[in-house]
Amino acid sequence: MHFDLSDDHQMLRRMVRDFVAARVTPHAGAWSEAGAVPAEVLKAVAELGLLGVRVPEDAGGAGMDATALALVLEEVAAGDAGLASVLASHALCCEHLMRAGTEVQV
């Protein structure tokens, strides 16, 4: 199957790719050895909106589609598979909360 990415998807991909090249790839080996990603990197990821890619905007997320999430995970995994796993796990939890969570949980 072939499809073209929207302008928004292409812009998201470039943003994440640039972030990963600058802030992730150079440190991925050290993070792997330490067994942790520094809190300031996770904060930067959150500030970019990458912890709520599929969460609706009215719930504080980016309100993007599944393609956007796939692009984010692909680009992050290119720099650090461990960090991509963290983001994927977080996205899965967000999906469950948005579908079945109470107002208090969301």
**In whole numbers, what is the pLDDT of the chain averaged over residues?**
95
Instruction: Indicate if the pLDDT at residue 2 is higher than 90.
Output: no
> Which pTM value belongs to this model?
0.91
Give pLDDT tens digits for 20-53: 999 999 999 999 999 999 999 999 999 999 999 9
Q: What is the mean pLDDT of residues 74-84?
A: 98
Helices (DSSP H) in 1-106: which residue ranges? Answer: 7-19, 28-34, 39-47, 66-79, 81-100
Which tokens is 53 given? 């890619």
Cα dihedral 35, 67, 47, 92 in deg (nearest 10): -50
Residue 21 carries which side chain, given as an amino acid letter?
A: A
pLDDT at position 13 over 90: yes
pLDDT at 103: 85
The residues, ordered by sequence, that sit 6+ positions from 15 with a Cβ below 8 Å of its Cβ are 48
- End-to-end C-alpha distance for the chain, whole angstroms: 35
| Residue ranges of domains in the chain, CATH in brackets | 7-100 (1.10.540.10)
Confidence class for position 104, pLDDT limits 50, 70, 90: confident
Residue 106: is its pLDDT beyond 90? Answer: no
